[in-house]
Structure 1
Amino acid sequence: MAEILGMISSQRGSETDPVTGPAVDPGWIREFARAHETAGFDRVLIGYSSAAPDGFAVASAVLQATERLGVLIAHRPGFVSPTVLARKLATLDQLSGGGRVAVHHISGGSDADQARDGDFSTKPERYGRTAEFMDVLRRALGADEPFDYSGQHYRVEGAHSSVGPVQPNGIPLWFGGLSDDAVRVGGEHADVYALFGESKAQVADRTAAIRKVASATGNDRLTFSLSTRPVVAATEEAAWAKADTYLEKARANKEAGLENNSLRLKHKAAKETTAVSADRLQHLAHVRDVHDERLWFGITKLMGPQGNSSGHVGTGQQVADALLEYWDLGVENFLIRGFDQLGDVNDWGELLLPRLRAGIEERQPTERVLAHH
């Protein structure tokens, strides 16, 4: 089932808005979660880093503050057993009524950030571990009888849980990463493969490569998600003016050293390579500022490798039309987050999401229409 997702933080702040408040601000979490629900989002991503607050605790607060909004909890395999995570996810799913919980697997693009939590494995080792983790997790979430598993990274005997998801296959397994190792793992094991906001040509190339792995391994569940940071306004001119304002604010904050974001790796180890997905965005940003007419890389170029930072700029209808071109390439989920966090969410709820949903309804049979819980 395709979805529109936002991203929630535990404290106010972005590249354009210096972080304020404590690392965990309960009032902000409630306000931000309810804004997403009011705007019409299906789910919100809760990010992960070695310095960030616990995602499961934040997810619980989001679920309690809202009635239908779901969560996508980012998780790094290697620190919690897959059988333990299965019980955590299933318990949260049961407590929240079912269908509101999903998990996003991030193998770890930074050796330095992994080391802060005591993991000194190599990236190839981490991807091998993620493959086994997702395999065991899926079995643990769906097993009616105790099972054994013996792999290079995980071994369990008689694994069994008294709690499962409300519905069979009720907890989607998301995955992110664009290296060759990532494509092999995600193509085989993921329900949803998350892509950064690249050009249509690059997305078409990546999805083809990932689908090839999925087909060869019998993964007929696989769908795709695109991440973007839209800048929308009533007119195209106003939208580009807003983008310019965001860029100047981000530049001023960077120069003032106000980038206090726990989800960003601020101190990268010497000679450490960056994630392939971040490198790909940087390449596009340095070719030109705008691709495919309205895919903007101004913030990407300014801030350097730091995760998804490209976004589509225009009126709500123009941005919806641009995203629907990715839908035509096979992308069925859209993960969008903003720079002016609350303001952008409110703008999207008024200007973008209704038009995006209407466009999807025109393209899909009734049984595959984007659900609005």
Structure 2
Amino acid sequence: MAQTIDQGGFFGALVATWPNDPLTSAASVAGFTEKMKFLVAEYAGLTPAKLLAEQALTFEKFHGSRLLFNHINGTPQRIGTYGVTLTPETRYALGESYWKEFQEHYTKGNRSLFPNTDFTIEPTTPNGIPLWGTGDSAAGIEHAGQVVNVYLLMLRELAKVKDQFGRAQEAAQRHGRQYDDMGALTSVIVRKDQKEAEKAFYQLFEKTGVELLKHKLNVSIQRKTQWRTKPR
């Protein structure tokens, strides 16, 4: 898939390959590509900032300036497996301090600790590894304005997209920053014409079936609300 993305001339791809480690997954296939960038999902605080900086510098040493990080504040289900329990407020504070520390370590480079060995991996991205991320709530948007270089959102109605982009830009300006770019996550069905594309779209629902859709939605709601059915 990475070779297809690379040879097809695409900018890059998100790597969020859990349960496989995303950074390890990206590094394992980067050598088969030449241009594509790897947007690696990373939870703030799970990897020590200095260690992540060393990993980023090593990635660039072998593969060039093709690493990006998708900054994830952390879902309770994921970070909880590491024994990390944070409120949204403390999670945002952690994210801000974590990425600041990471960029400081990255821009210093990684110097050899062996005696009489003057060797350092120098950073190849002058302003630090770009962070891509999102924020939907008021606090999330404010946090994105503090740390994110490329702001992302889920594609919705045009009015909502314009409003959220506008609020995100205002948040960045309040912190003396501006985004390098902004983008929206969407799905695309490619067919010869619109009629065939619409047919393929509705067939997805027909093949999936109502009962499976209901089940998946219910699982998602329970996961996000931490709701559990109590035994009678």
Does 2:65 align with 1:99? Answer: yes
CA shift digits 1:33-82 (9 cap, x unpaired) = 1222233211110116xx52101111012312222221000011121111
Tell whether 2:79 aligns with 1:125. Answer: no
- Contact in 1 for aligned 2:15/2:41 (Cα 8 Å): yes
Q: Which amino acid aligns with 1:272?
A: Q
Change over 3 Å in CA distance of 1:270–1:89 after alignment to 2: closer
Match of 1:53 in 2: 20
Higher RCO (Cα < 8 Å, 6 or more apart):
1
Which residue identity is paired with 1:122?
T
- Seen in structure 2, the aligned counterparts of structure 1 residues 90 and 249 have a Cα distance that, compared at 3 Å, is farther
Equivalent residue in structure 2 for 1:136, among 101, 113, 138: 101
Q: Secondary structure at the match of 1:195?
A: strand
Cα separation, 2, equivalents of 1:219 and 1:177? 16
Distance 2:134 2:44 in 1: 12
Percent same amino acid at aligned positions? 22
Gaps of 5+ in 1: 1-31, 147-160, 260-264, 274-373
Residues 55 and 80 of structure 1, relative CA distance in 2, 3 Å threshold: same
Q: Is the 8 A contact 2:109 2:122 kept in 1?
A: no
Asked if the contact 1:106/1:177 (under 8 Å) is kept, the reply is no
* Structure 1 residue aligned with 2:144: 186
Consecutive unaligned residues of structure 2, counting only runs of 5 or more, are 112-118, 228-232
1:129 and 1:199 mapped to 2: Cα distance? 32
Q: Deviations along 1:101-141, whole A, 9 cap, x unmatched?
A: 10111102x32332122111112211110011121122222
Alpha-carbon contact 2:6-2:35 (below 8 Å) kept: yes
Aligned residues of 1:99 and 1:170 also touching (Cα < 8 A): no
Instruction: Give 1:225's aligned residue.
Output: 183
Question: What whole-Å deviation, never above 9, does each CA across 1:17-45 have from its counterpart, x for those lacking one?
Answer: xxxxxxxxxxxxxxx21222233211110
Number of aligned residue pairs: 218
Using the TM superposition, give the Cα deviation of residue 217 of structure 1 relative to its aligned residue in structure 2, in angstroms. 1.0
Runs of 4+ in 1 over 6 A off after TM superposition: none
TM-score, length basis structure 2? 0.82
Which residue is equivalent to 1:311? none
* CA shift for structure 1 position 162: 3.8
Matches within 5 A, 1:1-373: 32-47=1-16, 52-96=19-63, 98-108=64-74, 110-143=75-108, 162-169=120-127, 171-251=129-209, 254=212, 268-269=222-223, 271-272=225-226
